[in-house]
Amino acid sequence: MLLSRTELLPYKNGEYLWKYVPSVPLAAIFAALFLVVSLAHTWKMIRHRLWFCLPFTLGGYLEALGCAARIVSRYNSDKLIPFVIQSISLLIPPSLFAASIYMTLGRIMRGLGPRGTACSIIRVKWLTTIFVVGDVLAFNIQGAGAPMLAKESTATMGKILVIVGLVVQIAFFGLFVIAAIIFDMRYRRGVVSGFALVQEGQNQMNVSPFNWQKLMTMLYATSALILVRSIFRIIEYVMGYDGYLLTNEWPLYVFDLALMVVTMVLFYVWYPSMIKPLPESTESRSMELLPQHAKARGCGSRAYS
């Protein structure tokens, strides 16, 4: 039987950390879901030695930890440490998910060979770095603001930092999605700057060593889910501590935790382990067909004939 809101215990000086008593069943269900999916991700990551997926996997464990801390807080609503742990652990995992998602796009481009890398609007060697740096920035800003939310004296500054961090995350994610869509469209059209392929070269270049379309669909889906979640979080903090979203528990599970479980499942089903490099002979032929100025400038306006 859950306690009522009136049975919340004050932290100090009549100040309450919680606006409601956390639900044990909901927290337990999602803690179990995140733990199971994170263990599955760990197995796949180790099996395929894809260490760039480590941030994604760690994000899942953090989500499970955050849910577990909510269970502890149910019986210790006046304790600061469980409140801070759940706040941080549920706020920053999407930044960790994003880091692996960014790196996946770079590996898709490289896996498709010179034609794939030429269709990126950003040099592939810089693409991952740019977005991961932005992600780390968002991660640090949110991480700095989250602990400040627990104290009334620093809550306003903490809220501002969290909102800024979420805005930075959305900005970089938006740019990432634009870059991914442009790459996708260019690659599907077969547009490469500076040359028109002969028939023999075209046949070789059009052989894809893995199902990159499914991976791109997965990136779009997971990116959309994280964007929706981040927008929800911004609205949550903008509405304030007395707003509906922070005084009721169900929106957190519907618009945050449930979306992140689906994100982890999608990434697991279409895991980037399917990315395989082009056969050496095909890549060599592709390099011969791609002149130096085309390599430097990326995709242009000439289509395959």
The secondary structure element, H or E, covering residue 142 is helix 124-145
- Predicted confidence band at 2 (pLDDT cuts at 50, 70, 90)? very low
> Looking at the domain assignment, is residue 70 inside a domain?
no
In which domain, by residue range, is 232 found?
A: 98-269+276-297
- Under the banding of pLDDT at 50, 70 and 90, the label for residue 104 is very high
Q: Residue 215 phi/psi, 5° resolution?
A: -65, -40
Whether 200 has a pLDDT exceeding 70, the answer reads no
Amino acid occupying residue 263: T
Predicted pLDDT of residue 193: 47
Mean pLDDT of the chain: 83
Half-sphere exposure of 305 (CA within 13 A, CB side): 7
Residue 29 forms part of a structural domain: no
| Contact in structure between 64 and 38 (CB atoms under 8 Å) | yes
Residue located via tokens 């634009």: 178
Residue 109 belongs to some domain of the structure: yes
Burial state string for 42-52 with b = 16 or more CB within 10 A and e = fewer than 16: bebbeeeebeb
For 12, the 3-state DSSP assignment is strand
Least confident of 88-102, 106-120, 196-210, 259-273: 196-210
Residue 135 has pLDDT above 80, yes or no: yes
Vertex 58 angle, CA 52 and 60, to 5°: 120
Distance of alpha carbon 70 from alpha carbon 112, whole angstroms: 44
Asked if residue 238 is part of any domain, the answer here is yes
- Residue 296, pLDDT score: 41
Q: What is the pLDDT of residues 223-233, one digit of tens each?
A: 999 999 999 99
- pLDDT of 256 reads 97
Does some domain include residue 20? no
Contacts of 84 (CB under 8 A, 6+ apart): 146, 147, 150
Number of domains forming the structure of the chain: 1
Res 1 pLDDT > 90: no
- H or E segment at 291? none
The answer to whether position 175 is within a domain reads yes
Determine, yes or no, domain membership for 167.
yes
pLDDT at 3 over 70: no
Judge whether 84 lies within some domain: no
pLDDT in tens, 10-56: 887 777 888 899 999 999 999 999 999 999 999 999 999 999 999 99
pLDDT over 70 at 299, yes or no: no
Looking at 85-89, 103-107, 118-122, which range is the least confident one?
Answer: 118-122
Arithmetic mean of pLDDT, 126-147: 87
